[in-house]
């Protein structure tokens, strides 16, 4: 079944949101690199790559369904952040918004009896559970570390060990 024009439009919107998330994580990577928190910077770079893969997953899906991808503007990320905790709080809140958007798309696909789109979105729903969990855990750890410089140093090293497949 060819994708409906309304679903195509909504998924095109999601493609730009995923690229927007990628862009946001790159801005965060740049912030951390400037602060010499290279583990956090590496983690953010990996996350940016993940997000562009998410965008391409939807891109490919729209094409596979006989639809037409049209790219929209990507939101400009903040130019700076107050501190590492604020960066991860922003990331966590952003992921919660992404989840809400995916849930809306899933609901819309259900309304259209577009089960193929629902199946693809199911993957994203599961992925978002993981992404929200990870960012929330990092926020909690950074809160615990507070102003402790050696704690921040150790945590930076730990996040820098993130593998490319995460």
Query: Per CB under 6 A, does 95 bind ligand FEO?
Result: yes
Among 98, 121, 152, 159, binds ligand FEO (CB under 6 A): 98
Query: Per CB under 6 A, does 15 bind ligand FEO?
Result: no
Residue whose CB is less far from ligand FEO, 95 or 114: 95
Among 8, 42, 51, 156, binds ligand FEO (CB under 6 A): 51
Buried-exposed string 152-165: b where 16+ CB fall within 10 A, e elsewhere: beebbeebbebeee
Minimal CB distance residue for ligand FEO: 54
What secondary structure letter does DSSP report for 142? H
Among 131, 134, 152, 159, binds ligand FEO (CB under 6 A): 131
Residue whose CB is less far from ligand FEO, 35 or 57: 57
Buried-exposed string 38-61: b where 16+ CB fall within 10 A, e elsewhere: ebbbbbbbbbbebbbebbeebbeb
Q: How many helices (H) and strands (E) does the chain have?
A: 5, 0
Query: Per CB under 6 A, does 18 bind ligand FEO?
Result: yes
Residue whose CB is less far from ligand FEO, 18 or 114: 18
What secondary structure letter does DSSP report for 82? S
**C-alpha span between 153 and 66 (Å, rounded):** 50
| Shortest Å, Cβ 49 to ligand FEO | 11
Cβ atoms of 81 and 87 within 8 Å: the answer is yes
| Shortest Å, Cβ 87 to ligand FEO | 15
Under 8 Å CB-to-CB from 118, ≥6 apart: which residues?
106, 109, 110
Stretch 55-94: interaction string toward ligand FEO, x if CB under 6 A = ----------------------------------------
Q: Where on the chain is the footprint of ligand FEO (CB under 6 A)?
A: 18, 21, 51, 54, 95, 98, 131
């Amino acid at each position: 079944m060819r994708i409906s024009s309304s679903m195509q439009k909504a998924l095109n919107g999601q493609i730009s949101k995923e690229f927007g998330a990628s862009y946001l994580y790159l801005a965060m990577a740049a912030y951390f690199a400037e602060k010499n928190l290279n583990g956090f910077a590496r983690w953010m770079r990996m996350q940016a790559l993940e997000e562009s893969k998410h965008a391409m997953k939807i891109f490919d899906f729209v094409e596979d369904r006989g639809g037409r991808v049209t790219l929209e503007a990507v939101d400009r990320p903040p130019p700076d952040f107050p501190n590492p905790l604020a960066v991860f709080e922003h990331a966590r809140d952003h992921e919660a918004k992404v989840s809400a958007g995916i849930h809306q798309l899933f609901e819309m696909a259900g309304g259209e009896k577009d089960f193929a789109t629902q199946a693809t979105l199911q993957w994203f729903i599961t992925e978002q559970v993981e992404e929200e969990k990870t960012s929330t855990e990092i926020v909690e750890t950074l809160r615990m570390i507070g102003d402790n410089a050696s704690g921040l140093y150790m945590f930076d090293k730990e996040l820098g060990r993130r593998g490319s497949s995460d």
